Structure 1
Amino acid sequence: MTQPLDEGPFFHGTKADLRDGDLLRAGFRSNYRPEVVMNHVYFTALPNGAGLAAELAAGDGAPRVYAVEPTGAFEDDPNVTDKKFPGNPTRSYRSSAPLRVLGEITAWTRQTPEALQAWKDRLTALRETERGEIIN
């Protein structure tokens, strides 16, 4: 893996209730393709991007955004970068090493119900195409 130039801070969105010091690990089902067990844990340098991921995450809990720090090497997320889109406009990353939770962040913008439904509709449509395949 090539270390990206981004130095953070970094964020992870989820519906899990986490505590400072918890470790987020790979090996769980994808929020976007539940039949896929992920080899990486994903994060972003944009709190609102993590917020969107939290709102789209599986589960019944409240969407939450956590400040996180990688404990090992990480790379640009190929699901939203050069293999699918030019550059890394979402400042999204992934790591096979755990992420350490530093604390919950509450200053992020929630999606409107209409915008959230539009994202869900896009994800449903993507699942039916090759472009929706997860690079794991």
Structure 2
Amino acid sequence: MAVLDAGPFYHGTKAHLRPGDLLTAGHISNYDRKVVMNHIYFTALSKGAGLAAEIARGDGRPRVYLVEPTGEIENDPNVTDKKFPGNPTRSYRSRQPLKIIDELERWEPFDEEFIRNLRSRIETGMGDIVN
């Protein structure tokens, strides 16, 4: 499936980053400490990146960054092939770094109860992560 998006792209995390920083693969997952990530995941939806930031492990505050891929990107097969054909979640991944362009100050939040329930499902191994 071809990537149909030109961006802008967003990445959600609790890490404090600055413009010019690079996000790279090979680090522990934001959601499962037993998993080392072979890709960097991102989305063209700021709300989706906000969800990823809200449920990420860590003590920092949730942050959404505007990012720029530095190499090839592909549709996230964990979402597009398994759950949502056609990539309506506009979720992507890359083996090459993502460059931090800026931090978004605001994004559309999810309901707090939804976030609590999703975190609980993730902690018990029952939840799949979208981005």
Same fold? TM cut 0.5: yes
What is residue 74 of structure 2 aligned with on the other side? 75
What is residue 101 of structure 2 aligned with on the other side? 102
What is residue 62 of structure 2 aligned with on the other side? 63
Q: Which amino acid aligns with 1:30?
A: S
Structure 1, unaligned stretches of length 5 or more? none
What is residue 114 of structure 1 aligned with on the other side? 113
Q: Which amino acid aligns with 2:59?
A: D
Query: TM-score, normalised on structure 1?
Result: 0.86
Q: Following TM superposition, by how much is the alpha carbon of 1:61 offset from its aligned partner in structure 2, in angstroms?
A: 0.2
* CA deviation map 1:49-74 (0-9, x unaligned): 00000011111000000000000001
What is residue 26 of structure 1 aligned with on the other side? 25
Q: Following TM superposition, by how much is the alpha carbon of 1:12 offset from its aligned partner in structure 2, in angstroms?
A: 0.3
Counterparts of 1:128 and 1:111, CA distance in 2: 20
Structure 2, unaligned stretches of length 5 or more? none
Query: TM-score, normalised on structure 2?
Result: 0.89
Distance change in 2, residues 1:128/1:105 (3 Å): closer
Counterparts of 1:95 and 1:42, CA distance in 2: 7
Alignment pair present for 1:84 and 2:86: no
Q: Which amino acid aligns with 2:49?
A: A
Counterparts of 1:10 and 1:61, CA distance in 2: 22
Retained in 2: the 8 A contact 1:45–1:91?
Answer: yes
Counterparts of 2:107 and 2:39, CA distance in 1: 24
Q: What value does the CA root-mean-square deviation take over the aligned residues?
A: 1.9
Retained in 1: the 8 A contact 2:75–2:92?
Answer: yes
Percentage identity across paired residues of the two chains? 60
